[in-house]
Structure 1
């Protein structure tokens, strides 16, 4: 990855996006469809593996994915089995374990990264396999957290599920669900019985992004529930609390998406800038992008959020 002056944003570059790339997955009954977005030029591109929220697909999250790619990252987006595009029947036998298929999707993509890269001539030999981050939004953030060391019980027997992967060096978790049990709404307890995370072993550097107006249907608590991955995980961690941010965090799900209940170009731009700076510094120790955005945020005329760090 070609670097600018430490701490500065790279000039936006032209982005290429290739989809669908089909990764054979006999175990899940449907191949994993992928999108890869990356700058049109450059080499040694760090990789972001992105897990979408409930019902979304590889077509979503353009405001984030295109920004990251224009800043020099290669972003891989799978379509998980819960996607509305796949429209699994309500009695599909895979439904009770969609959480497991989601998590295994990410592991399988990492296992096949060389083969995936080789299927796209424009990307062949351009990815840096030693600099991999995971990111996700909502259920996707919970899914991504598993590769960073978070665990949760298997709802079938209560045994802990752990998928920590040393290939993953850092993460960005946006609107990631907090602890389960009595904190879950009746809807969430029924729909997501595995949603009882333990962040105690999530040791890599992770940025948690939470909206201070996120009153989503997952919890009977207020917006503070969405910051628990920061509060309950060991250092090094950072928390970006987005002022006025609801579950869509200003508009990350897509362009002109009806899922966005809090549309705000300024809020979205802040999420783009803060997450990019975190990834640059987390994957490249010594890069000052994070320190720069950390110092600049409170000095702006209309700060869109607040950063905590430990």
Structure 2
């Protein structure tokens, strides 16, 4: 485990966005050729959330970049702002912009210059951030033109990401028309994480809605189902966060371990990390989750 350093805000010029993109960068203080994880936060959050994941990944050899999207409560964008209907597009632009700006991000963090490996990049995201991240993996929004697949991204982790838009509630249908992901072209390898007690008010389906990125996704995928987990997956946003309805440190620890193992193997750091982690979970007498793969 590495000592880590975190810098914020690191600012990237973002013409056409209305304001520059702010991000947090967290990385180990030593090591070279660091693989990169670009993380997309859930609705309303910011670069300052998800420390249980970002800090853990950085302590295990990754550089983690957390952009703050326009829907963040820290920016307080007005509902009638002309950018509001297009925030889902801006979110994807933010993630691509962070990858485009890796050199600038390196230069802005003391001691980080020249230490990132731009050939090993993953995206990850929670909730709406999962849908945003999935677009770089090949997912699309049904009925919307354009393909935002980013070939620089070779792996993904989608945490409680929304499922298909076929069975949305009337509220979601009216107010969230972009929540119609099409996973048929999502061919980049990814780990999908779903809680089997995660009941969303955006769909008429049950918790299985969050398994759609795995079930409907193309290409190699793995599904981690966390037993008893709700939308916060045990508390990945942070400790003592009021939005966490299922606080469970053991579940968060498992998620830290399994996502790290998956990314280490998917990004070519350690080919045995993920197979070993799967075997260890399968061998537990009272596991907190299960893994399937295709």
TM over 0.5: yes
Q: Match for residue 151 of structure 2?
A: 166
Question: Which residue is 2:280 aligned to?
Answer: 296
Aligned to 2:183: 199
Q: CA deviation at 1:30?
A: 1.1
Displacement of 1:286 in angstroms is: 5.8
Which of 68, 81, 84 is equivalent to 2:57?
68
From 21, 28, 31, the equivalent of 1:42 is: 31
DSSP 3-state at the match of 1:160: coil
Cα distance in 2 between the residues matched to 1:34 and 1:285: 25
Tell me by how many angstroms 1:290 deviates. Answer: 0.5
Q: Which moved more, 1:31-40 or 1:299-308?
A: 299-308
Which position in structure 1 is the counterpart of 2:19?
Answer: 30
Alpha-carbon distance in structure 1 between the residues aligned to 2:168 and 2:82: 25
1:122 aligns with 2:111: yes
Q: Please, which runs of 5 or more residues in structure 2 have no aligned partner?
A: none
> Which residue among 137, 145, 150 is the counterpart of 1:148?
137
Q: Give the CA deviation at 1:161.
A: 3.3
Give the SS at the match of 1:303: coil
**CA separation of 1:285/1:25 partners in 2, compared to 1, >3 Å: closer, same or farther?**
closer
Q: How many residues align?
A: 294
Query: By how many angstroms is 1:298 displaced?
Result: 2.0
Q: Is the 8 A contact 2:264 2:270 kept in 1?
A: no
Q: Distance in 1 between matches of 2:198 and 2:52?
A: 19
2:157 matches 1:180: no
Quickly say closer, same or farther: Cα 1:296–1:308, change in 2 above 3 A. same
Are 1:278 and 2:262 matched, yes or no?
A: yes
Q: Name the residue aligned to 1:236.
A: 220
Alignment check: 8 A CA contact 1:152 1:162 kept: no
Determine if the alignment matches structure 1 residue 223 to structure 2 residue 207: yes
Unpaired runs of at least 5, structure 1:
1-11
Q: State the distance in 2 between where 1:215 and 1:159 align.
A: 27
TM-score computed with the length of structure 2 as normaliser: 0.97
1:263 aligns with 2:247: yes
Stretches (4+) displaced over 4 A:
none
Measured against aligned partners, the alpha-carbon deviations of 1:243-296 in whole angstroms (never above 9, x if no partner) come to: 001000000011211111000011111111111110000001761010001111
Asked if 1 retains the 8 angstrom alpha-carbon contact of 2:233 and 2:252, the reply is: yes
What are the superposed Cα offsets for residues 168-193 of structure 1, whole Å, 9 maximum, x if unpaired? 01000000111003x11222222321
How has the CA–CA distance of structure 1 residues 161 and 217 changed in structure 2, closer, same or farther, with 3 Å as cutoff?
Answer: farther
Counterpart residue number, 1:81: 70
